[in-house]
């Protein structure tokens, strides 16, 4: 299972939000390039970048910072936030981004997602961000009536390379990943799933190993890395040495409360 550090950009700075709330923001770095280089030096094999300004504006905003990150590291970078037309997608890929993450248009323009998957094979990932099982859109400012599992099934048919699943109620809270929701999603589709939201410890990452045989192939870690609750080096080593067969299904931070 791949441990993927998150870099969330707001005003060109590296920040974290609490449950996606733009009014609850904590800055962790003024220079996101330095942050990206740090995660690479500590063993990251992929970076997850979110343009928070772009998600709110409906188009990429932090292009300068994203290009600088992509050029500064040797590992692949995936980027999401405000990608709602072909031009935006193409612009990021031209900057050296390896994969792009589509969210809002998966709900609002599914035919466009299909077209993009065909034009850019293996480079389109769909981000499904959910509140109580329903998909949120437009930078998490709106919640649709579409169920996460239903959208995932549609995007699998569309040709998405993978699904990134975020439980918004867990994001930035460090309360542990939503294993039940991830298990339900994995049962609904035959696509790689990357878990996002709530990881607070290496124990949380190890709990996800029990879902690896079901298709959960990665975990995005944000706030816990920036606060020091999780060491990226230690997390990568622990996950690499862990064996899901030895981990009970209910293993996780809650089991150690």
- Kindly list the catalytic residues: 8, 129
Nearest to 196 by CA among 159, 158, 224: 224
CB 234 within 8 A of CB 202: yes
The span from the CA of 33 to the CA of 20, in Å, is 23
The CA–CA distances, whole Å, from 244 to 58, 135, 209, 231, 256 equal: 40, 29, 5, 21, 18
Q: Which helix (H) or strand (E) holds 172?
A: none
The span from the CA of 86 to the CA of 70, in Å, is 20
Nearest to 143 by CA among 35, 212, 151, 60: 151
The span from the CA of 39 to the CA of 80, in Å, is 19
Q: Is 233 helix (H, G, I), strand (E, B) or coil?
A: helix
Max Cα-Cα span within the chain: 48
């Amino acid at each position: 299972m791949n441990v993927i550090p998150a870099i969330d950009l707001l005003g060109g700075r590296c920040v974290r939000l609490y449950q996606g709330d733009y009014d609850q923001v904590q800055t962790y770095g003024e220079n996101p390039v330095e942050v990206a280089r740090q995660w690479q030096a500590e063993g990251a094999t992929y970076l997850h970048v979110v343009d928070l300004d772009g998600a709110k504006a409906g188009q990429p905003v932090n292009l300068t910072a994203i290009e600088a990150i992509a050029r500064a590291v040797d590992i692949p970078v995936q980027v999401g936030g405000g990608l709602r037309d072909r031009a935006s997608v193409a612009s990021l890929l031209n900057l050296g981004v390896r994969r792009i993450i589509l969210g809002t248009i998966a709900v609002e323009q599914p035919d466009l997602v299909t077209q993009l998957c065909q034009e850019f094979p293996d480079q389109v990932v769909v981000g499904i961000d959910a509140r109580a099982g329903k998909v949120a859109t437009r930078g998490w400012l709106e919640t649709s009536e579409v169920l996460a599992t239903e959208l995932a099934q549609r995007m699998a048919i569309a040709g998405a390379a993978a699904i990134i699943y975020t439980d918004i109620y867990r994001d930035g809270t460090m309360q542990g990943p939503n294993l039940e929701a991830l298990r339900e999603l994995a049962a609904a589709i035959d696509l790689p799933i990357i878990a996002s939201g709530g990881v607070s410890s290496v124990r949380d990452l190890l709990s996800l190993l029990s879902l690896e045989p079901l298709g959960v192939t990665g975990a995005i870690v944000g706030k816990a890395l920036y606060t020091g609750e999780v060491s990226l080096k230690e997390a990568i080593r622990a996950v690499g040495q862990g064996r899901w067969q030895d981990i009970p299904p209910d293993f996780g931070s809650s089991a150690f409360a």
